[in-house]
Structure 1
Amino acid sequence: MRRAMGIEGPFWRAIAVFRLASLAYAALLVLRAGGYARPAVAWAVVGVMLAWTAVTLVLYPAARRGPLLAADLLVTVGCLLVTPFAQSRGDVLAGAMPITATWVAGPVLAYGVARGRRAGAVAAAVVSAADLWLRSAGGVDIASFPVNGAVLMFMAGVVVGHVARLAREAEERMRRAERIEAAGRERERLARGIHDSVLQVLALVQRRGAEIGGEAAELGRLAGEQESALRALVQAPPVVRPPDSAPPPGLRGRLRSPARPRRALAREETSRHVTNTTTAEPEADLRDLLRPYGTARVTVSAPATPLPLPAESAREVAAAVGAALDNVVRHCPEGTRAWILAEEDGGAVVVTVRDDGPGIPEGRLEQAAREGRMGVARSIRGRVADLGGTVTVTSSGPGTEIELTVPARTPRPGEGGERRS
């Protein structure tokens, strides 16, 4: 059987196991009955059931649409209706099961998984009607005929169809959550980059314009308005379009251009995925990225041995250290000194940024986050959290210490955390 993609795979594997077990059970019944009245016909039916079971194992679930489902139901009902040609009237009156036995439930389950509970119920009705007609043609009193099998078949079709539909909905919700999470991570990354560049420049223009006065003050006021608008924009929640919704009219031509058909795009996406998962990420020495921060007022201390990290992780840690130093320049008096200490501790890299400034007032970080100022919340904590690390901010009296701890390997997104003391 072809490998089933998505959450429906276990359902189709269970149906395949059910078909094989039911086929073995039907063959056992024929063997115990000595082939019934006409063994050749009985074993021929079993052979057809075996062949069709092999066909369904190969074609389901990849080709589970209308033609295969209809053929499955027709073959099953046909094998069921051949029973009178193999069994005698006495076998039927004695309550012998049809040659197909429980194998007839296979298409009912297939319809339920592929098309939902209503289709499963319709398939169960067709099979049950064929079974009742077969019994009545054999002289069995329908009023006294037990309907347990028909009831169980209806329940199987409805329940399996309902559960399969719920499973598909759960899978789609999970995929949508993954898309929202990925969009949120990308927005966080872009917001950090904007904060480290554009927002800081706008804030500087606003502050210097107010200091200079005159026309520069008006320029500073406009820069402040643009800074506030940009902060609100990067903090807006991401919008993820459902996969089955139509794209905006202006994008349809580019998404469906003749030069890049859908299959070619799928092959390129698969190729990129394979390349990204099989290519080892290069490493970088964190010391080389921290040394440029050293100045007359910033002291950088690092061990004599390398501090290897994945290149992207090393760049993010260095950017977080740069954001911490930017906060020292922006919020501390002129002449404030800072120290950067990098070391390795038990499979993790720890970078500490300490200054001798006035410290951070209690509650100031939470207030800054509410106001959209992302220096600590995103440029530092956000970066380190994406790497699976932790951030500790200590500010008791004069001076502030920010400790960044990241693992030597890059974990999956969401494994990290943060602390505040």
Structure 2
Amino acid sequence: MTEADIPTVRGGAARGSGRRPKVVRMSVELPLWRALTGYRILTFCYTFALVAFSYPHYAHPLGAAAYMGTLTVWMALTWRRTTSAERCTRRFLVIDLTLVVGGILLTSLVDTHARIMGGSPTLPSIWAASAVLGFAIKGGWRWAAAASSAVAVANLIERQELARGTIHNVVLVWVASVAIGYVVEVARASERTLARALQIEAATRERERLARDIHDSVLQVLAMVQRRGAAIGGEAAELGRMAGEQEVALRTLVSGGLVGPQRVAAPDGAADAVAPATGAGPPPTGRTGPVRPAPVTGPCDIRALLAPYAGAGVTFSEPGAPVELPAAAAAELAAAVGAALDNVRVHAGAAARAWILVEDEPDAVLVTVRDDGPGIAEGRLADAEREGRLGVALSIRGRLRELGGSADWISVPGQGTEVELKVPKGAAPGGTRRGRARERE
């Protein structure tokens, strides 16, 4: 597995741009290749010095010099081949291993028998392990076992006896290379699992973003057509019925198809009866669609985004000084407030009143949306989410979760509902600040 094989996600999807999260590349295997390159260079220098020091003691010193000359040229031409998996090909590894095995066998020809029996190192010395490690990192423990076995056989032939020291060295190289190969395979499996998890996370975040946008536009329009059609009757009723069917299908799609939406007939037969704060209906009276502020950059005063929601049935209270948030976070918070007001209009009735209160805390911005409607029955929010209703799950809670904030529902049946939306200052969609949306019933 190479560096380009492991994707990881940094940052969230660009809000309103339709772009996917930025993808960068990483790999925990890359440091192993760099370590192998350093090991090859250092051990080659050690081997070169060792052969030079022992040069007068060889039986055929010119043979040792010829081997070291060949090894020097090989290292000069190929030292970069072990810096990545792409460069370290199977052909290169085979040639590298051939040089190791050939050097070990050549030792018995160029060195004296007395020095060999006395434990003198072979010509490649500890550089021989570099070829075995290359097989281990490239192909895992099976390749490492095959390469180390070849080196072990060559050492036994060179020593011509099963000495304790020889067996010790052979077993040590074999076990170490197999262990490293196994660790590499485990690391690769972990990287594949991580890459898959990151892909799923990115896809889930994108699905949630699209679901929020759909809920704020298409689903609300379909719900409005369904209710108006049922109220008008005639051919409009049939149009409303078809709009309701499409709403159900679309809710199932954007919610991931995990649970099929369940229809609950309202007493008047007009719309589905759902709990307050589920976000199934159209915008409040006086608006033809959700308020969508124009894109801005830099800090944004949240008061300017929430002021258009004020009207005959909505009271807006704000501090005297600007309440600034990053533009993207302010837009998301304003959209969540709009979804909460939509719920008031749909589920508390056109006669219900709502109050918006903006508070500028030292480390966060708190927006409270309160109404005097009938309140939320215990457990109804969870039931609405299971039915595929996306107002609380995505348009409100999802937005605040991605900002690192929280969304709290405080409701007593018969006494209205209060929604507290809290966003930390400096938060931005997809940022590092994370929070869990809490729900209090």
TM-score (norm 1): 0.80
Structure 1 residues 145 and 316, CA gap change in structure 2 (3 angstroms): closer
How far the C-alpha of 1:27 sits from its partner, in A, is 5.6
How far the C-alpha of 1:395 sits from its partner, in A, is 0.8
**1:400 is matched with which residue?**
417
Structure 1 window deviating more from structure 2 (25-34 vs 384-393): it is: 25-34
1:319 and 2:335 matched: yes
Q: How far apart, CA to CA, are the structure 2 residues paired with 1:25 and 1:237?
A: 64
Structure 1 window deviating more from structure 2 (166-175 vs 381-390): it is: 166-175
* Kept after mapping to 2: 8 A contact 1:290/1:318: yes
> Please, which of 78, 81, 94 is the counterpart of residue 59 of structure 1?
81
> Please, which of 65, 75, 90 is the counterpart of residue 114 of structure 2?
90
**2:93 is matched with which residue?**
69
Structure 1 window deviating more from structure 2 (392-401 vs 147-156): it is: 147-156
Q: How far apart, CA to CA, are the structure 2 residues paired with 1:328 and 1:35?
A: 96
**Pairwise mapping of residues 139-150 of structure 1 onto structure 2 (< 5 A)?**
140-142=160-162, 146-150=166-170
RMSD after superposition: 2.9
Q: How far apart, CA to CA, are the structure 2 residues paired with 1:145 and 1:413?
A: 56
**1:13 is matched with which residue?**
34
Q: How far apart, CA to CA, are the structure 1 residues paired with 2:75 and 2:301?
A: 60
| Alignment gaps of 5+ in structure 2 | 5-25, 259-295
**Counterpart of 2:211 in 1: which secondary structure?**
helix
> Please, which of 192, 196, 201 is the counterpart of residue 172 of structure 1?
192
Q: How far apart, CA to CA, are the structure 2 residues paired with 1:285 and 1:22?
A: 64
Q: How far apart, CA to CA, are the structure 2 residues paired with 1:332 and 1:83?
A: 92
**1:122 is matched with which residue?**
146
**Pairwise mapping of residues 23-62 of structure 1 onto structure 2 (< 5 A)?**
23=44, 26=47, 36-37=57-58, 52-53=74-75, 57-60=79-82, 61=84, 62=86
Structure 1 residues 405 and 54, CA gap change in structure 2 (3 angstroms): farther
**Pairwise mapping of residues 277-292 of structure 1 onto structure 2 (< 5 A)?**
282-292=298-308
**1:234 is matched with which residue?**
254
> Please, which of 325, 342, 345 is the counterpart of residue 309 of structure 1?
325
Structure 1 residues 284 and 142, CA gap change in structure 2 (3 angstroms): same
Q: How far apart, CA to CA, are the structure 1 residues paired with 2:156 and 2:213?
A: 72
* Kept after mapping to 1: 8 A contact 2:255/2:390: no
How far the C-alpha of 1:10 sits from its partner, in A, is 2.5
* Kept after mapping to 1: 8 A contact 2:358/2:368: yes
**Counterpart of 2:408 in 1: which secondary structure?**
strand
Q: Percent identity?
A: 47
How far the C-alpha of 1:305 sits from its partner, in A, is 2.4
Cα deviation per residue 1:161-191 (whole Å; 9 max; x = unaligned)?
Answer: 2221221121122111111111111111111
**Pairwise mapping of residues 253-264 of structure 1 onto structure 2 (< 5 A)?**
none
> Please, which of 187, 208, 216 is the counterpart of residue 207 of structure 2?
187
Amino acid at match of 1:124: S
Structure 1 residues 47 and 147, CA gap change in structure 2 (3 angstroms): same
Amino acid at match of 1:333: G
**2:398 is matched with which residue?**
382
Number of residue pairs the alignment of both structures matches: 375
Cα deviation per residue 1:118-144 (whole Å; 9 max; x = unaligned)?
Answer: 222222222223222322xxxx33587
Q: How far apart, CA to CA, are the structure 2 residues paired with 1:13 and 1:153?
A: 20
**1:354 is matched with which residue?**
370
* Kept after mapping to 2: 8 A contact 1:35/1:43: no
Structure 1 residues 188 and 144, CA gap change in structure 2 (3 angstroms): closer
**Counterpart of 1:236 in 2: which secondary structure?**
coil
Structure 1 residues 123 and 414, CA gap change in structure 2 (3 angstroms): farther
Amino acid at match of 2:250: L
Structure 1 residues 40 and 339, CA gap change in structure 2 (3 angstroms): farther
Q: How far apart, CA to CA, are the structure 2 residues paired with 1:120 and 1:237?
A: 47
* Kept after mapping to 2: 8 A contact 1:49/1:79: no
**Counterpart of 2:365 in 1: which secondary structure?**
strand
Cα deviation per residue 1:284-315 (whole Å; 9 max; x = unaligned)?
Answer: 22222111111121122222322222222111
Q: How far apart, CA to CA, are the structure 2 residues paired with 1:176 and 1:346?
A: 39
Structure 1 window deviating more from structure 2 (12-21 vs 61-70): it is: 12-21
**2:282 is matched with which residue?**
none
Cα deviation per residue 1:247-270 (whole Å; 9 max; x = unaligned)?
Answer: xxxxxxxxxxxxxxxxxxxxxxxx
* Kept after mapping to 2: 8 A contact 1:30/1:99: yes
Structure 1 window deviating more from structure 2 (332-341 vs 205-214): it is: 205-214
Q: How far apart, CA to CA, are the structure 2 residues paired with 1:315 and 1:44?
A: 74
> Please, which of 381, 390, 402 is the counterpart of residue 365 of structure 1?
381
Q: How far apart, CA to CA, are the structure 2 residues paired with 1:111 and 1:33?
A: 30
Q: How far apart, CA to CA, are the structure 2 residues paired with 1:395 and 1:54?
A: 76
How far the C-alpha of 1:6 sits from its partner, in A, is 1.4
**Pairwise mapping of residues 240-251 of structure 1 onto structure 2 (< 5 A)?**
none
**Counterpart of 1:380 in 2: which secondary structure?**
helix
How far the C-alpha of 1:32 sits from its partner, in A, is 7.2
**Counterpart of 1:334 in 2: which secondary structure?**
coil
**Counterpart of 1:350 in 2: which secondary structure?**
strand
**1:258 is matched with which residue?**
none
Amino acid at match of 1:228: V
* Kept after mapping to 2: 8 A contact 1:80/1:100: yes
* Kept after mapping to 1: 8 A contact 2:215/2:391: yes
Structure 1 window deviating more from structure 2 (61-70 vs 224-233): it is: 61-70
Q: How far apart, CA to CA, are the structure 2 residues paired with 1:63 and 1:26?
A: 24
Higher helix share: 1
How far the C-alpha of 1:199 sits from its partner, in A, is 1.2
Amino acid at match of 1:58: R
Q: How far apart, CA to CA, are the structure 2 residues paired with 1:33 and 1:353?
A: 86
Cα deviation per residue 1:102-125 (whole Å; 9 max; x = unaligned)?
Answer: 221111111111122222222222
| Alignment gaps of 5+ in structure 1 | 239-279
Structure 1 window deviating more from structure 2 (321-330 vs 353-362): it is: 353-362
Q: Which has the higher contact order (CA 8 A, sep 6+)?
A: 2
* Kept after mapping to 2: 8 A contact 1:184/1:237: no
Amino acid at match of 2:57: Y
**Counterpart of 1:304 in 2: which secondary structure?**
coil
Q: How far apart, CA to CA, are the structure 2 residues paired with 1:107 and 1:179?
A: 36
How far the C-alpha of 1:281 sits from its partner, in A, is 6.0
